[in-house]
Structure 1
Amino acid sequence: MTAVPTVVCVGSVTVDTIALVDALPGRDERVVAEQFVVAGGGPAATAAVTLARLGVPVGFAGVVGDDEAGREARAALESEGVDTTLLRTDRDATTARSVVLVERGSGARTIVTSASAEPVARDIRDLPADVEWLHVDQTGYAAARAAIVERPGLRLSIDDGNPVDALDLAGVQLYAPTLAVLTARFGADPATALRAARDAGAFRVVATSGSDGAEVLDGDAVVHVPAVEVEPVSTLGAGDVFHGALLAAVVRGSPLVEAAAAAAAVAAQSTHALDGRSAVPFAADPISTSRP
């Protein structure tokens, strides 16, 4: 039986078809893939799987179509112990799908995706009493903001990697943009931008920058948390895994710099597989940064 969630992730869920190629093709080029994998994806959905693997009771709220991909997406979450009570099936929607090309050696990827159907406030109105946090991506933000009006005690965590429209940081407990998005919103200097996000209302601010690591606002100081060095099979979903692991550590009371370092290690581990989920470690696993 799935535990009653303390975190609900709200937003995008996809079914991804991932191909491993020697080099990403150019225009009108044809390449032969060595391997194809079909797996679940989506920023909020992958964060939910990460939270579940790290032992945090978690649910997912979003929208899938009444189609085979929707059933696959739901089953993939449930197989990881994610509560899908709030995952709505809409007969008028089509489940989002992505095609991903991953380059051997570098782990770089090119993504073509369809838009996920957006949940609405009523999808998360009847949250279990034990839910303390909502974690949202660009697709789930508006619904979560509306829901919090009716339940102001909820804590909000925002993944602002794919930029969130009409962002309001007032009262946000955890704000985790990419450094590129942060500086686009608040100015080119990272330290100034981090402090500006705090001044706009965010209680905790962590900006990610891929293989360059993350910048953490610790009081008024900016602390650089380096990425864990790894030879990646694929970087697909690594940022989403980082967000889930970061929130898992915060929920358990870790200081923010320590939480970011733990999240970096979990995200590095996730790059050992072609998809964005299957190599995410479980709470009982040692965190290894060596490639299997």
Structure 2
Amino acid sequence: MARQGLFVGLSTLDLVYLVASPPHNNQKIVASDYMVAAGGPATNAGITFSYLGNQATFLGVLGVHPIAQLIRADLEIHGVTIVDSDPYRIAPPAISSIMVTQSTGDRAVVSINATQVQIAAEQLPAMDLDNVNIILIDGHQMAISKVIAQEAYSKNIPIVIDGGSWKAGFEEILPLASYVICSANFHPPNCCRPEEVFAYLQGLEIPNIAITHGEKSIQYFSIEKIGEVPVPAVNPVDTLGAGDIFHGAFCHYILQENFTDALTLSAKVASHSCQFFGTRRWMKEETNADI
């Protein structure tokens, strides 16, 4: 049965180039491949959740600029419903320019993210969460995320936090979360090491916490249990969006599995995606036999 997921946060237009190596100053290079797609943590997670057989809704900012229509079209192609918090915005959305190094799959990203597109809580459209099974918040629209999180918490809807990096305002939302999955770059105030991050989050009485480390094992804490989940070894072609895909897969699997099994299965999906250039090709039918 398809579940309903709400994904709150950032949407960008990603311009992605596959290159032998990033250019030096004043150098022009020719890419061997390219793709244009909607990007952003909540966006890619929602598309992944939809691909795995669920119904996803993206809540964020698009507007009416022609570039926003490209983002809108990609979301619609992948079955994601859109709730635009600023539907008459005429300024362009954020654009990310990304270079992926062909030999390693490493990526270099230039983006303006959502710093100039913040929506006030009173601009949040009326939403009915009664049929929502899970909510992911990436922290890029903190004011509306707080309102959504408070209502979800009151209705016992599980909240997943994508902690890519620390953002002001997280301290008010984190205590409401059921699951916090951080990258190694997530550093709350006065926290530098993973054990300090775990201690900070445990102090907020968050029941399930994980820290990802790229291709290395995922560290986790779950109701007094501490351990690691291995990440499948692959030969990466492109690591762009792997964390977003992991979070989208997690939202799918956690509605069916326990915490550690959901982490394991999500890592498998994310690792699989790294074997293909861009954030969409891994979804093609002929590529997904192993997930």
**Structure 1 length-normalised TM:** 0.87
Matches within 5 A, 1:77-226: 77-86=75-84, 88-116=86-114, 117-121=117-121, 122-150=123-151, 152-153=154-155, 154-168=157-171, 169-182=174-187, 185=189, 187-226=191-230
1:59, CA displacement in angstroms?
0.5
Matches within 5 A, 1:257-276: 257-276=260-279
Partners of 1:213 and 1:280 in 2: how far apart?
Answer: 24
When structure 1 is superposed on structure 2, of 243-252 and 215-224 the one drifting more is: 215-224
1:132, CA displacement in angstroms?
3.2
Partner secondary structure for residue 82 of structure 2? coil
Partners of 1:90 and 1:233 in 2: how far apart?
Answer: 38
8 Å Cα contact 1:9-1:136 kept in structure 2: yes
1:103, CA displacement in angstroms?
0.2
Partners of 2:283 and 2:93 in 1: how far apart?
Answer: 24
1:40, CA displacement in angstroms?
1.5
8 Å Cα contact 1:20-1:104 kept in structure 2: yes
1:28, CA displacement in angstroms?
3.0
Q: Which residue of 2 aligns with 1:21?
A: 19
2:246 to 231, 242, 249: 242
8 Å Cα contact 1:134-1:144 kept in structure 2: no
1:223-278 deviations in Å (ceiling 9; x for gaps): 111221111211000011011111211122x1111111111110011112221233
Distance change in 2, residues 1:120/1:213 (3 Å)? farther
8 Å Cα contact 1:70-1:89 kept in structure 2: no
1:59 and 2:57 correspond:
yes
8 Å Cα contact 2:7-2:56 kept in structure 1: yes
Distance change in 2, residues 1:87/1:287 (3 Å)? farther
Q: Which residue of 2 aligns with 1:278?
A: 281
8 Å Cα contact 1:18-1:99 kept in structure 2: yes
1:185, CA displacement in angstroms?
4.2
**Structure 2 length-normalised TM:** 0.88
Q: How many residues align?
A: 283
Partners of 1:59 and 1:23 in 2: how far apart?
Answer: 36
Partner secondary structure for residue 94 of structure 1? coil
Distance change in 2, residues 1:62/1:188 (3 Å)? closer
8 Å Cα contact 1:62-1:118 kept in structure 2: no
Distance change in 2, residues 1:197/1:238 (3 Å)? same
1:88-107 deviations in Å (ceiling 9; x for gaps): 42333321111100101100
- Residue type of the alignment partner of 2:36: V
Partners of 1:9 and 1:90 in 2: how far apart?
Answer: 21
1:229 and 2:227 correspond:
no
Distance change in 2, residues 1:71/1:11 (3 Å)? same
Partner secondary structure for residue 161 of structure 2? strand
1:66, CA displacement in angstroms?
1.2
Partner secondary structure for residue 180 of structure 1? coil
- Residue type of the alignment partner of 2:46: A
Distance change in 2, residues 1:218/1:129 (3 Å)? closer
Partners of 1:137 and 1:247 in 2: how far apart?
Answer: 13
1:196, CA displacement in angstroms?
3.2
Partners of 1:56 and 1:164 in 2: how far apart?
Answer: 29
1:70, CA displacement in angstroms?
0.7
- Residue type of the alignment partner of 1:51: F
Q: Which residue of 2 aligns with 1:69?
A: 67
